[in-house]
Amino acid sequence: MGDIPIPPRFQVPCHFCHGTLDSRMPGIFQRVNGWVMQRSQGGGNAIALPVRSNEWACPACVRSEAAGTRAQETLL
């Protein structure tokens, strides 16, 4: 049996490797923005008020990025 095709409305590119992902699948990462309260001791406390962006990434790329093992593609 072949793979079931991803309906076009759920096809999204990986931010890092540009591979095609299915945005419905568990384990896929979506970029979010939120709020951080600055602490007097330095650093910040994250507040769970995420705003979702239409950017997606596959788990392998996120793990590589977090570990610092992805190849450098830009200088800054």
The mean pLDDT of the chain is: 87
Q: Which helix (H) or strand (E) holds 32?
A: strand 29-38
When pLDDT is cut at 50, 70 and 90, the band that residue 39 belongs to is confident
pLDDT at 13 over 80: yes
User: Using alpha carbons only, what angle is made at residue 74 by residues 32 and 65, rounded to the nearest 5 degrees?
Assistant: 45
Domain-by-domain residue ranges, the chain? 8-67
Q: Do strands 20-22 and 44-57 pair parallel, antiparallel, or not at all (unpaired)?
A: unpaired
Q: What's the confidence (pLDDT) of residue 72?
A: 59
Of 5, 24, 21, residue with least CA distance to 13:
21
Give the C-alpha separation, 22 to 69, whole Å: 24
Of 74 and 25, more confident = 25
**pLDDT tens digits for range 53-70:** 999 999 999 999 999 887
Full-model pTM: 0.71
Structure tokens at 29: 């990462």
Structure tokens at 69: 């093992």
